Amino acid sequence: MVQLDDRAAVRRLHDRLGTGPRPGDLDRTFDAALDALLAEDPAGDVPAPQPASPPRPVKGDRAAKQDAAHQRGEDEHALATWWLDRMVTTGRPAVERMTWFWHGHFATSEQKVRSPRSMLAQNETFRGLGLGPFADLAQALVVDPAMLVWLDGNDNRAGAPNENLAREFMELFTLGVGHYGEQDVREAARALTGWTVRANDGKAELVAKRHDDSQKTVFGQASTYTAKSLVELLLSREESPEFVVGRAWFRLVSAQPPAADVVARLVPAFRRDTRSLLRAMAAEPAFRDAANTLVKQPVEWAVGLMRAVGVRPRDLTRKQADALLKALRGLGQTPFRPPSVGGWPAGGAWLTTATWPSRLDLAKIVADRAKPDLGTADRIEGVRRLLGVDSWSDRTRTALGKVSGDPAQLVVVAANSPEYVVSR
């Protein structure tokens, strides 16, 4: 195992547990950088815009529906731009990083929810609870209005249970494949009956007459389960902490599953809270293993680039902001729009010839806005320092040399290099 030196390990901290380094961030020691990432400094945290669209899809005349749909689109645009801006400027990088992680873990999409208010409320839940105990987050999400709409909780009632939410809560959120049976899903669905999203304000409530309050048997244990007691049962299973820790490891540390002894060290930290889990993962030798590279995902890549060069999405013109979100759509990843309940794929699937134009467009928007000053002596070295890259390969240095006369174009090419796209 080849261990990263301290500076490279600090850069990895910012890439994996934060939202990318800013100038000066790599000058800290590893411990100081970890403390700064996990800090509760609200500096730069801009309040969210308040959606003006109705909490639920409008029923009625065609013109009203069209107006509501247009307003939803405007609200979603504003929320996506705001969240990207918050990730760029935040003084609490680990909070925003884990808000993004949980958005992919409990993946919920505005495409079906059609309520920016509900999507924002869920986002604030991720942010408020994302570094705390997982149990608090899971309890909030099982009755979250956006989640109820997304996974058909509104259709789950006594006598006609809908199994969608129960199944995904077991398979994707708490236990993983193979750790439950079909009977468990059916009984768990009955425990979740009655939760409904009110049309007038988008809030979730338990409608007693729609809830099945009779006895259910889940994992061989009989009880009159409710949403709360069902989640308690799921999280009490031995598989649950190991599953969630494995998901976090896969996204934040390595595509290779953690060894059994690593899991044994991480699970007690996870049982305390997610903040403790992040500290424990950063302390593992595998975190500094040079072989454990991860391809940055589109939003991580774009946000990290904007942090490095000092560009805020909120300062873009509407045309530029539209182009930025269009480029992210072209790369297959935009806030509030995961493609499925399984979230976004990992790895380099987005690095194709088909996405090359979108990658160039996004980097050009950022570089043109930044107007980077890379000096005149050695601009290739200047852009390396600006982006926090350890070193350039000969092939990349040759490509950069062809555009070194244009600082903005130099940033565009450097941002699309393997050395920057891959979190090393």
- How many angstroms separate the CA atoms of 120 and 303, rounded? 19
Q: How many CB atoms lie within 10 A of CB 391?
A: 10
The helix or strand, by DSSP H or E, that contains position 177, with its residue range, turns out to be none
Q: Is pLDDT above 90 for 375?
A: no
Angle between helices 356-370 and 407-415 (to 10 degrees): 140
pLDDT tens digits, residue range 78-90?
A: 999 999 999 999 9
Q: What is residue 359's predicted lDDT score, i.e. its pLDDT?
A: 97
Span 24-51, average pLDDT = 89
- pLDDT band for position 44 (50/70/90)? low
- How many angstroms separate the CA atoms of 268 and 276, rounded? 9
Span 342-359, average pLDDT = 95
Q: What is residue 237's predicted lDDT score, i.e. its pLDDT?
A: 98
Grouping H, G, I as helix, E, B as strand and the rest as coil, residue 3 is strand
Task: Enumerate residues 6+ apart whose C-beta is below 8 A from 249.
Answer: 257, 258, 262, 266, 281
pLDDT tens digits, residue range 170-194?
A: 999 999 999 999 999 999 999 999 9
Joined tokens for residue 325: 């979100």
pLDDT tens digits, residue range 61-72?
A: 888 889 889 999
Average pLDDT, the chain: 95
Q: What are the structural domain ranges in the chain? A: 295-423
Q: What is residue 1's predicted lDDT score, i.e. its pLDDT?
A: 83
Q: What is residue 58's predicted lDDT score, i.e. its pLDDT?
A: 78
Burial class (CB in 10 A: 0-12, 13-18, 19+), 31: exposed
Q: Is pLDDT above 80 for 236?
A: yes
DSSP H helices, 237-378, are: 239-252, 260-272, 274-283, 298-309, 318-330, 356-370
